[in-house]
Amino acid sequence: MTTQAPKKPVIVVGSGLAGLSAAHEALRAGATVRMLDRAPKPGGNSIKASSGINGAGTRFQQSLGIAKDDSFYSDTVRSAGARFAESSPPVDRKALIEILTSQSESAVNWLADELNVDLSVVAQLGGHSVPRTHRGGGKLPPGAAIVSALLDALKANSNFSLENSADVVELLSGDGAVKGVSYQVADGQPHELEGPVVFAAGGFAGDAHGLLSKYRPDLAGIPSTNEARPASHGLLSAVRASFVDMDSVQIHPTGFVDPKDPGSAYKFLAAEALRGEGGILLSAEGKRFINELQTRDVVSAAIMALPHTTVEKTRQWEVTLLLDPGACEATTSHIGFYLWKGLVQKKKVRDLAPEVIASVDKYATLVSENGEDELGRKAFGHWKLPPGEANRDEEVCVGTVTPVVHFTMGGVTFDSQARVLRPKEGGGLVPIPGLWAAGEITGGIHGANRLGGSSLLECAVFGRIAGAEAAKSLTNA
């Protein structure tokens, strides 16, 4: 008799939505999955995602009367800006965006139908032509709801294992291919694991003194929604992976300034859904100054054109975010948490500064008359506050926000099969055998600016592709 060698697992590095999605598809294809994450708890940044996941053509959109949504691709291209036309390195941006947008409905259906995630609430975020960002109506934010459902499903499968506090220190390679990983756990001893690798370790927005300072030194001192940690990109560089758009770093326009710790370099994100559902932004003079539903880069630039302050070495712009009762009600799951954290307060309109009351009345008149906004806003969410004396005893939700370093659009180059690419002799890029990637570690999809709701989406779409392709490589070996 001959003994058969044990089947190699698909190795997934990172436990955010990209890694979890990859693991789910690899298991579906019959593979065993070993997931490694250096963090002590699973979920990555995905578990903190607060606005939702994009989907075009979903039944949830149709229930709102949106019979057809054929503008997601063009919205994404427009948001990517001039970067979409760049051809060096030769990344097929068009193909990546086509996959992202065309598979968005199936991604939402997968989460809703197979994993029973509530995604029935649909909002319109900045840069979107129609409402297409899905979240649930319960207390859990969308990222936590999605990650929790996937973790539960994976842990119920005996072919899946998750090891936290497992720091991958090297991609093992030979004959030009990636063969596995070397990693360390609490005992500090190196461990080696062989198998195809899906790399989903996240971006570098928390690497303030490393890659972030290298590619965007101008962002020094600006607070971040990312916890401080070194980037993992060097592991990919060591196997000659190519990178793209590394200086494309997204500044999210709204991170909360905590009254208890105003100078903190770490800020809680004020979800874009707060503006999408009707919230407005006011300057120190109490005036609206930007269409709140512009793309994130445009809104951030408008805020950063205002005077700023420096608090304990942190550069910030203190702008008021105000939601009327309708917008507060539509974002109950968010507002409840922000109130508990002390990041948002409820105030009666009559207790606001006179210049703020004037702006609230002006905006309320605009909405009630369905007028033309001089700043260009066309969708007003669930704002229902009337203008004038009728609103003075109504309570509004108010918080102070500032732009924050949030997301890195740049990362490793990859193709429509989620294969990581490296330069080849004579020019061009070729796949690195044995290595796939998905999520924020990758580049080439978002260009100069990412649309809200497309981070969870890219994790789901390309994570599933990566997991399926990695599993397939085992059967083809």
Residues 384-402 pLDDT 10s: 999 999 999 999 999 999 9
Per-residue pLDDT tens for 171-222?
Answer: 999 999 999 999 999 878 889 999 999 999 999 999 998 999 999 999 999 9
Query: Known catalytic residue: 275?
Result: yes
DSSP class of residue 397 equals E
Q: Which pLDDT band, with edges at 50, 70 and 90, does 7 fall under?
A: confident
Residue 468 belongs to a domain with what CATH number? 3.50.50.60
pLDDT above 80 (res 466): yes
Length of the chain: 477
- 1 occurs within a structural domain: no
Q: Which pLDDT band, with edges at 50, 70 and 90, does 342 fall under?
A: very high
Residues 351 and 456 in one domain: no
> Structurally, how many domains does the chain consist of?
2
Alpha carbon separation from 289 to 304, 306, 374, 425, 476 (Å, rounded): 12, 10, 10, 51, 58
- 338 occurs within a structural domain: yes
Task: Please list the alpha-helical segments (H only) found in 211-304.
Answer: 211-215, 233-237, 272-276, 296-304
- The sign of the dihedral angle between the CA atoms of 116, 121, 125, 127 is positive
pLDDT above 50 (res 2): no
Task: Please state the separation of Cα 20 from the chain's center in Å.
Answer: 15
Residues 209 and 341 in one domain: no
pLDDT above 60 (res 4): no
pLDDT above 90 (res 3): no
Summarize the confidence of residues 2-23 as an average pLDDT: 87
The whole domain housing 347 covers: 250-405
The pLDDT of residue 187: 77
Query: Known catalytic residue: 382?
Result: no
Given the residues 38, 275, 419, 464, the one annotated as active site = 275
- 177 occurs within a structural domain: yes
pLDDT above 90 (res 477): no
- 2 occurs within a structural domain: no
Q: Which pLDDT band, with edges at 50, 70 and 90, does 5 fall under?
A: low
Per-residue pLDDT tens for 92-112?
Answer: 999 999 999 999 999 999 999
User: Buried (b) or exposed (e) across 392-402, using 16+ Cβ within 10 A?
Assistant: eebebbbbbbb
Summarize the confidence of residues 338-350 as an average pLDDT: 97
Torsion of CA 384, 387, 388, 394, to 10 degrees: 20
β-pairing, 197-199 vs 10-13, is parallel
Computed over every residue of the chain, the mean pLDDT equals 95
Task: Please state the separation of Cα 59 from the chain's center in Å.
Answer: 23
Task: Please list the alpha-helical segments (H only) found in 38-103.
Answer: 59-62, 72-80, 93-102
Residues 20 and 83 in one domain: yes
pLDDT above 50 (res 146): yes
Instruction: Decide: pTM greater than 0.85.
Output: yes
Given the residues 252, 288, 406, 464, the one annotated as active site = 252
DSSP class of residue 138 equals S
Instruction: Residue 416: name the closest of 440, 433, 436 by CA.
Output: 436
